[in-house]
A and B are shown apart, each in its own frame.
Chain A
Amino acid sequence: MAVTPSSLNQLIEALRVLPGVGPKSATRMAYHLLQRDQGGAVNLAHALEYAIATLKHCRHCNTFTEAEVCDICADEQRDHSKLCVVEMPTDLMMVEQTLAFHGLYFVLMGRLSPLDGIGPKDIALERLLTRASDGEVQEVVLATNFTVEGEATAHYLSEMLRARGLSVSRIARGLPVGGELEHVDPGTLAQALVERRHL
């Protein structure tokens, strides 16, 4: 019986840390890298090593950055009285693309998920509290996802921040921009009716 060399085995095992990659996919990836794309494999190894060595969390907003403080937090032009809380760095990028928010951010790097055993101690709540209580922040905007976990996180954060006298708001939910009632899904429309606002 042919024995897989140990370095190959090690590579396959290492690839399995990726989400959604089982032993079969890991084996396929390993053979592809070694057989078809050795240059790519070297690049990947360097990029991983470089990222691990240089990336850290921004001292203010907790997102990934190479400097002590990220570019957004270091920008003096931004509105320091508003703090937008998001789950992940990708969410921050999306909000940033809207050009509708000029304040600063805080990235939780996760969400509360009681059924997965992810509690308040597993996300950066303590750091958010310190950040939001700096005296400059007037309003905290909660922009966690509108999933049940995101909503639970928003509730927990609002209780926590309001207990310290901070003003808290939540981004709105409802019909998409340009949405027609005829084509929107009934769950969204139902919630838009529940959360209708007075004019």
Chain B
Amino acid sequence: MAVAKKPRRKALADTPRVDAQPALVLHQQPYRETSRLLDVFSRDHGRVAIVARGAQRPGSQARAVLLGFQPLLLSWFGAGELKTLHAAEWQGGIAQLAGLPLLCGFYLNELLQRLLPRDAPNPPLFAAYFEAIQALSLLPREPGAEVEPILRRFELALLSSLGYAPDWRITAEGQAVQPRQRYGFEPGSGLTPSGTRAGCPGEALLALAAGSLEPQWLLQVKPLMRQMIASLIGANPLHTRQLLIDLQRL
């Protein structure tokens, strides 16, 4: 269903417009009296800040359309940093997330908000995000659902599409990764041989380098991913990760 609203200003021929762009809403918050401020991840325009005018009014039809984790077709206009939503169309095909998969969805969104700069188009990452949300929506809601491989696959796509992923075959010292050795990640340099059992086995890294994203390898790289992401996001920890930890303690 289209929620169309005529732009209040005269439609200027030279105002940049984007029509029916595949996108998902990462986050939204009330803005001014009756509007909403959307943080949107779109396929061809990357992360965009968009105002949805009147979406906060009671009975606004946009409310049922502008949902997180739902594929949408968004049209917007505006030359500045903050765009104005013109139309939002619900695309469907993905059930609304609930339970543990929903919290994992928040984790993906927080990663994107923290690491993906605004207005930087990144279609491969959009595809990876879309796939991850779709995979999460197909999981059962119970704890113990197989969320881990989905999260690792997305983290890998995020790191490599932003240029943070190292060559998985070579250590920081330029030596070849050995299948039987374990490795850790040193911020600023790269992979380093690790003496502890916590490191990631070399064979998993070599499998990743060969393009294998099988769950058995993905599960092994979790500590490494954690170190790499922690070094990127800086001192402020991820709220969603803390929430997942709190949940596990219950």
Contacts and interface: CB of A to CB of B under 8 A. Distances in A.
Whether chain B is bound by chain A comes out as yes
Interface of A: 19-20, 112, 114-117, 119-120, 147-148, 151-152, 155-156, 159-160, 163, 185-188, 190-191, 194
B61 to A, nearest CB: 7
B98 A155 contact: yes
Nearest to B113: A115
Nearest to B243: A114
Nearest to A115: B27
B242 interface: yes
A119 B102 contact: no
Given A156-B243, A190-B95, A191-B96, A185 B1 contact: yes
Given A148-B69, A185-B65, A187-B64, A160 B106 contact: no
A188 B250 contact: no
Given A156-B103, A190-B95, 4 more contacts: A148-B69, A155-B99, A186-B90, A187-B65
Contact of B29 (A114, A116, A120): A116
Contacts of B64: 185, 187-188
Contacts of B1: 185-186
23 contacts: A19-B30, A20-B30, A20-B32, A20-B33, A112-B243, A114-B107, A114-B110, A115-B26, A116-B29, A119-B239, A119-B246, A148-B69, A155-B102, A155-B141, A156-B247, A159-B143, A159-B247, A185-B1, A185-B65, A187-B64, A190-B92, A191-B95, A191-B96
Nearest to B143: A159
Interface in B53-111: 61, 64-65, 67-70, 90, 92, 95-100, 102-103, 105-107, 109-110
Given A119-B246, A155-B100, A148 B90 contact: no
Contacts of A112: 243
B192 interface: no
Residue from B98, B100, B105 having most chain A Cβ neighbours under 10 A: B98
A191 B250 CA distance: 29
* Chain B interface size, under 10 / 10 to 19 / 20 to 34 / 35 or more: 35 or more
B122 interface: no
Identify which of A114, A155, A194 gathers the most chain B CB atoms within 10 Å of its CB.
A114
A187 B3 CA distance: 13
A151 B64 CA distance: 15
B240 interface: yes
B90 A187 contact: yes
Contacts of A188: 64
Contacts of B100: 155
A159 to B, nearest CB: 5
Which of A147, A151, A188 gathers the greatest number of chain B CB atoms within 10 Å?
A151
Interface string B231-250: 00000000110110011001
B92 A186 contact: yes
Contacts of A20: 30, 32-33
A133 B103 CA distance: 26
B53 to A, nearest CB: 14
Contacts of B113: 115
A118 to B, nearest CB: 8
B176 to A, nearest CB: 40
Contacts of B110: 114-115
Contacts of A160: 250
